Chain A
Amino acid sequence: MLQQIINGLALGGVYALIAIGWTVVFGIVGLINWTHGEVFMIGAFAGYLVITTYHVNFFVALVVAMFFGGLVAYLIERLAYRPLRTGPKLALFITALGASIFIRNLAAIIWEPQSRAYPATFEASVMTWQLGSTVLTINTLQIMIFAVTLVIMAFLQWFITRTMMGKAMLAASQDLEAVSLMGVDVNHLITITFWVSGMLGGAAGVLVGVLYAIDPMMGAMAGLKGWAVAVLGGVGSISGAMVAGLLLGVIENISTTFISSGYRDAIAFVIMIATLVIKPTGLMGFKFEDKV
């Protein structure tokens, strides 16, 4: 059991990163961001390409992937979403879905649809611990991935609670019009939001690439899981997405010991539906009574 929890944490951290990127955009723009999974895929490929062509180390690849993730998210916002922002929500929803399918297939044309794996950039040694009667094995890659996610989350936490722009982003997820009344340029704020979201997605892409094979279609499931995790955490809630991501990673891992691993991907959606039925505001959902 402890072993499953440890295995789940690394993947859970990645889920959390994807979900935070998803939830900040939803919180501020109110958009179901279908392209977020694609940004994640672009990050995974950017990392792969820069490692295979320039033989850079993992951390350089991470930075490159974050940059391209942010850039792609920014371009999607500029080209696809911004012209429609004041239009009907349905138009935006369909555009997001269309943009996602477009990017996915474009990637399949450029990079071929088959899957591939990152070259082993550094030794993945396995450590074992004896804890009473149980033996725990931990892959150093898992530790590294988990550490990287924690650092990114800590940095994000600093950004949103300590900087003016970050505070404005938090406020914008509560009341965008009121934020504009504070003198915040809302277009600029949304640009930053997409950059942040894309950088988180890009980072998640590389982290997944280190552990698993990547392919141009990988974004579809990741995007949906990001959504599911965001719902579990309470849409728009960054801390909720952090906790819910870790939780999903662990639950998925534990569940494979009880049910067939073929159902693994379904768990996220069962949890999402259960959340919507039992507590639609999610784990960290806030509800203040209207005061008079």
Chain B
Amino acid sequence: MLEINEINVYYGHIHAIVNATLHVDQGEIVTIIGANGAGKTTIQKTIMGLLHSPTGGITFEGEDIANCPTASIVGRGIALVPEGRRIFPRLSVADNLVLGAYSRKDKFVSQDMDKMYQLFPRLAERRSQLAGTLSGGEQQMLAMGRGLMSRPKLLLLDEPSMGLAPVLVSQIFHTITDINREGVTILLVEQNARRALAIANRGYVLEAGKVVLEGLANELATNDDVQKAYLGE
């Protein structure tokens, strides 16, 4: 579904992604794990066309998207729930969700809003409240709901569990599996490697911009190096 081939991304002199190759198949949950500054966010931003690789290529459903503007990438069916949520604090919860459907032209938007309120009942109670007044966990739900409103085929999630209380973390990971079961393919970036590997089919380990290891999630979870570096055992 998504093929990333030998990309390199730079911030000025910083070589943030080094010859990275990875792919995501239809229906999978794939996770990218790595320490702070490994380049996880950079990869997701590059997929969305917010950053560019002078080499290699990115294809989605067989079509080259490496040089597409972000709007057209969203239109093709990829959505990113960014690191730090990035909800619009001075818009209402409902308006945040509606904006998620900006690229859609069909008339089922309000129907999907109701679906989001079912998936995240906390948002339903707060639909006319300013998003900036929500708690951290609610903001994460809103960011995910907003991402889903574009009806993506592939959903990119950047550290959805960051800074959340343990109960909420479990809930968010449950929701991710639910979303995947509904047919949405997922590329999940996490520092919480244990939980990410527990729900993923496959995973990649990123170190200083390089993919150093890849494999089935359960294999990675039992790999000695991964256990030492990311699972604290």
Q: Are A182's CB and B135's CB within 8 A? A: no
The distance from the CB of A160 to the nearest CB of chain B, in whole angstroms, is 10
CB-CB contacts below 8 Å: A181-196 with B: 181-186
Residue numbers in A under 8 Å from B96 (CB-CB): 171
B136 contacts A291, CB within 8 Å? yes
Using known A-B contacts A167-B99, A170-B91, A292-B163, determine if residue A185 contacts B71 with beta carbons closer than 8 Å: yes
Q: Is the CB of A181 within 8 A of B79?
A: yes
Given known pairs A182-B102, A183-B74, A184-B102, the reply for A174 and B91 (CB within 8 Å) is: yes
Q: Is A168 an interface residue (CB 8 A)?
A: yes
B215 at interface by CB-CB < 8 Å:
no
Is A164 located at the chain interface by the 8 A CB criterion?
Answer: yes
A182–B99 CB distance below 8 A: yes
Known pairs A168-B99, A183-B150, A185-B71; A178 contacts B88 (CB<8 A): yes
Bound together, the chains give a CA A171 to CA B81 distance in angstroms of: 16
User: CB-CB < 8 A to B89: which residues of A?
Assistant: 174, 286, 288
Bound: A184/B49 CA distance, A: 13
Q: Which residues of A contact B91 (CB under 8 A)?
A: 167, 170-171, 174
Q: Which of A145-186 touch B at CB < 8 Å? A: 164, 167-168, 170-171, 174-175, 177-186
CB pair A178–B86 under 8 Å, yes or no, is yes
Closest chain-B Cβ to A281's Cβ sits at a distance in Å of 12
Q: How far is the CA of A279 from the CA of B6 in the complex (A)?
A: 50
CB A286 to nearest CB in B, in angstroms, measures 6
Within 8 A of A (CB), among B97-149: 98-100, 102-103, 132-136, 139, 146
Interface residues of A in 231-262 (CB under 8 A from B): none
Interface extent on A, as a size class?
20 to 34
| Alpha-carbon distance between A180 and B91 when the two chains are bound, in angstroms | 16
Q: Which residues of A contact B8 (CB under 8 A)?
A: none
Interface of chain B residues 136 through 195 with chain A (CB within 8 A): 136, 139, 146, 150, 163-164
A288–B70 CB distance below 8 A: no
Instruction: Say whether B136 contacts A180, CB under 8 Å.
Output: no
Residue from the list B71, B98, B164 in contact with A183, Cβ < 8 A = B71
Residues of B within 8 A of A184 (CB): 71, 99, 102-103
Is the pair B90, A167 in contact by a Cβ cutoff of 8 Å? Answer: no
**A-contact 0/1 string along B48-87, CB 8 Å cutoff:** 1010000000000000000001110011000110100011
B-to-A contact residues, CB < 8 Å: 48, 50, 69-71, 74-75, 79-80, 82, 86-91, 95-96, 98-100, 102-103, 132-136, 139, 146, 150, 163-164
Interface of A with B (CB < 8 Å)? 164, 167-168, 170-171, 174-175, 177-186, 286, 288, 291-292
A–B Cβ pairs within 8 angstroms, 11 of them? A164-B98, A171-B96, A174-B89, A175-B86, A178-B87, A179-B99, A183-B75, A183-B150, A286-B89, A288-B89, A292-B163
